[in-house]
Amino acid sequence: MKKFLFLGLILLFSSPFFALAQQPYARYCPDPTHIFTGVATNRDGSPKIELVVDPIFNEKMKRERFTDYLPVAPIYDLVFSVVPSINEYCLPQYDENGTRIKKMDPPKTLPFTASIELSGKALISASSLAWNGRRNENEQPLYEWKIKGWENGIVSESKMEKLIRAIHDNNPPPTLAVQMKFSDGRRERIDQSTNFTLCAPVWGSGAHEVVYDRVAHRLSDFIYQSESIISGAFLKVDPFREYQKWFTHLINLRNYYGESWFNIHLATRKGEQHIAEDCGGKQSNHIAISPLVPLGDFASALSSGRFIQIASDVTKRILDYNAMGTSLKFFVPVPFPLIALHEFGHVFSGLNDEYLSGQVSGKNCSINPAFDWSYNGVQYGDTSFEGCGYPTVHHRPSEKSIMRGAQSGETRFNVVSCGYIIAAIKKEGEGPKYWKECMNPEWNTIKPIGKVASFGLPNLASIFQSLIRVPSSASVRDAVGSGEEIHIEHFSADGTITGEVISVPSISYSPLPLADVDLSEDTSELNSQTVPPTSNLGDLANESIFDTVSVNLKVNGQDGPVEVEKRSRIVLSWISEGATRCRGVWSKNDIKLSGTAAGRITRDATIKVACINADGERADDAVVVNVVE
């Protein structure tokens, strides 16, 4: 009896402990606040950490801009997602007997620190991630950190340049990091590599790629200018507007600098041409937006390379041309995006300038317009407008058009040019096949107005002379053999804007080096022209150079010594980093922190530039120019 009583007392007094031991939270969850135990892993042992384009942003771009699947580019809205490992027994979803009585959702916040890093240093971070009800394919909750990136980048401008360079070089490789701090004082860190692209689609998903390349440009300015060409030209002017879904527009985030980009037609004459192959490649159409085009030229187009270089300040250059010792004879209302579209007409469709460009290659320039622009008995181009490549002999299809450029102030293509553009888009047939389509009254094309030439007898001598110079039915490229042709738009000596077609024998393609970019932290005064009170520019002869400020000067794209002929034109370009003020020996006033200048040189000279930063530290650069008779 005593035995049974003793056993009963033991059972009686030990029952609470026994019940407690059976409760799951006591057995498997000693600390109820320790719900998250780490980061879940895949079958291969890799952590479930991922960086993707925000699905909401992806759908918005698909709906509004007709893009396809977007790769992870640092200018998009992104989502950093983590799948944590969760101790289910720490959730209040079990009864005293260890039976789950209801399914409980995990907490809405994951108290882990997430960051995107280079060499272990965070470019951007968040102290926690949020759960919005989304789960992965295994029904595990996805905790997310939404990162705003569209359209100038997920981090500040200077950090974006650092990230872009690291992505291109894969040195250091960008990483995703998660840092965990537990209630018992333990700390853990998990890293996961990630892949970014620098080739970012921003509009469309068609077969024709238009790549916008950045040459020594601030990223925000470059993106704005690229977007202005898309919205202000390709989406507004027919037939590109009507066929907009046949194109994909991509922004190349890499920043370039190089002699061949500095002056494309001079480089072409030397048998060199650099095409940006980081995004698209040789089969794509490239539009390089550059502040490094010489002041006398504002745009260039290389036909077979499908390459355009355009000055980012082209409209300002035209309107400010008085400062260069001449004056314009007309006002130029054509905005920057439409000048780019004019150049695109050259490279994409083989169209000619409809003003005196020195040479012609058929299509929208003709010596026999009544025949060349007639199709199935219908006349699609007027025949009375003289001056298209050569005066009098060659004719253009309309009095004005976008291919006539600034002289006309017109922003539309004529029907003849429109047909050749559609033929290039569809890669089927010739331009005349599509002239009827271009007559659509809802299209903003220039229709013929019935103006017919009335000459009497043709000037056979003029026609014969023209045929000797350039075959009217053949392109310049056919006339000179296996070379290339390049169209140059430039200011002439009397202040008018003219064109030039240059033939070159061959072009070799080679990669282009990266621009020197600012890898420092943000500097709000980076592009300011004001000088803090502590700064003192001092004597430009001072030779000291400081690591915290730098400037790189080039003459005709070279570090020097540079050899030029007497009275030849030279172009200076300089890029500074960390500077708040710069001055050059050619100017009595402060100059831009990065920019170009041009002039003629008659004797040997050493061109110098000096810059200082907010702390008064200074950097200098110089290029020796030797003049030969």
Note the pLDDT of residue 141: 95
Q: Are strands 109-110 and 129-135 parallel, antiparallel or unpaired?
A: antiparallel
Q: Residue 284's closest CA among 241, 260, 250?
A: 250
- Give every CB contact of residue 42 below 8 A, 6+ residues apart in sequence: 48
**Residue with tokens 């056919």, as numbered in its chain:** 478
Maximum CA extent, the chain: 142
pLDDT of 313 reads 65
Burial group, residue 559, by CB count within 10 angstroms (0-12, 13-18, 19+): middle
**Residues 251 and 331 placed together within one structural domain of the fold:** yes
Distances (CA, A) of 25 to 16, 107, 109: 15, 17, 21
What residue has token string 């187009």? 301
Q: What are the Cα distances from residue 619, in Å, to 525, 529, 613, 614, 616? A: 17, 17, 9, 12, 10
- 255-264 confidence digits (pLDDT tens): 876 544 444 4
CATH number of the CATH domain containing 505 = 3.40.390
Among 135-139, 161-165, 392-396, where is mean pLDDT lowest? 392-396
Is 245 among the domain residues?
yes
Q: Mean pLDDT over residues 98-114, rounded?
A: 84
Q: Are 504 and 143 in contact (CB under 8 A)?
A: no
212 shares its domain with 132? no
For the record, the structure tokens of 201 come out as 């689609």
Do 578 and 506 have their domain in common? no
Enumerate the β-bridge partners of residue 196.
none
Residue-wise pLDDT for 20-48, tens only, equals 344 445 667 777 778 899 999 999 999 99
Predicted confidence band of residue 340 (pLDDT cuts 50, 70, 90): confident
Within-domain flag for 486: yes
Closest CA to 317 of 154, 451, 586, 497: 497
Write the CATH number for 623: 2.60.40.10
Residue 540 lies in a domain: no
Closest-CA residue to 549 (of 577, 591, 529): 577
DSSP string of 543-596, one letter each residue = ----TT-EEEEEETTB-S-EEEETTEEEEEEEEEES-SEEEETT-SSEE-SEEE
Task: Please tell me the predicted confidence (pLDDT) of residue 324.
Answer: 44
Q: Are residues 233 and 333 in the same domain?
A: yes
**pLDDT(130) > 80:** yes
CA 379 to chain centre: 41
* DSSP-based three-state secondary structure for 170: coil
Residues 384 and 341 in one domain: no
In a domain, 231, yes or no: yes
Last residue of a domain, which of 166, 197, 228? 197
pLDDT, mean of residues 89-96: 73
Q: Which amino acid is located at 356 in the chain?
A: L
In this structure, the answer to whether residues 511 and 380 fall within a common structural domain is: no
CA 358 to chain centre: 32
Residue corresponding to tokens 């004879």:
329
Label residues 197-218 b or e (16+ Cβ within 10 Å = b): bbbbbbbbbbebbbbbbbbbbb
Range of the domain at 574: 550-628
CA distance 59 to 42: 28
Q: Would the pLDDT of 184 be above 60?
A: yes
Q: Are residues 439 and 587 in the same domain?
A: no
Least confident of 329-333, 430-434, 539-543: 539-543
Pairing status of strand 36-39 against strand 84-86: antiparallel
Q: State the pLDDT at residue 143.
A: 97
**Which residues have CB under 8 Å from 214's CB, separation 6+?**
222, 251, 252, 253, 254, 255, 256, 288, 289
Confidence band, pLDDT 50/70/90 cuts, at residue 417: very high
Kindly state whether residues 511 and 604 are assigned to the same domain: no
Same domain? For 193 and 150 the reply is: yes
Question: Does residue 98 form part of some domain?
Answer: yes
On whether both 241 and 320 belong to a single domain, the answer is: yes
Residue where a domain stops, chosen among 444, 474, 504: 474
Is 497 contained in some domain? yes
Same domain, 460 and 488: no
How high does pLDDT run on average in the chain? 74
User: How far, in Å, CA of 212 to CA of 223, rounded?
Assistant: 9
Which amino acid appears at position 480 of this protein? Answer: V
**SS3 (DSSP) at 598:** strand
- One domain for residues 417 and 431: yes
- If 0-12 CB within 10 Å is exposed, 13-18 middle and 19+ buried, where does residue 373 land? buried
> At which of 414, 446, 474 does a domain end?
474
How far is it, in rounded angstroms, from Cα 429 to Cα 169? Answer: 43
Number of domains in the chain: 4
Pairing of strands 78-82, 84-86: unpaired
Beta 568-577 vs 590-591: how paired, if at all?
A: unpaired
Cα-Cα-Cα-Cα dihedral of 432, 348, 313, 365, to 10°?
Answer: -40
Picking from 491, 464, 306, the residue whose alpha carbon sits closest to that of residue 390 is: 464
Assigned domain for 213 exists: yes
Domain contains 620 = yes
Span 203-250, pLDDT tens digits: 999 999 999 988 778 898 899 989 999 999 999 999 999 999 999 999
Concatenating the DSSP letter of every residue in 213-247 gives EEES--HHHHHHHHHHHIIIIITTSTTTTTTGGGE
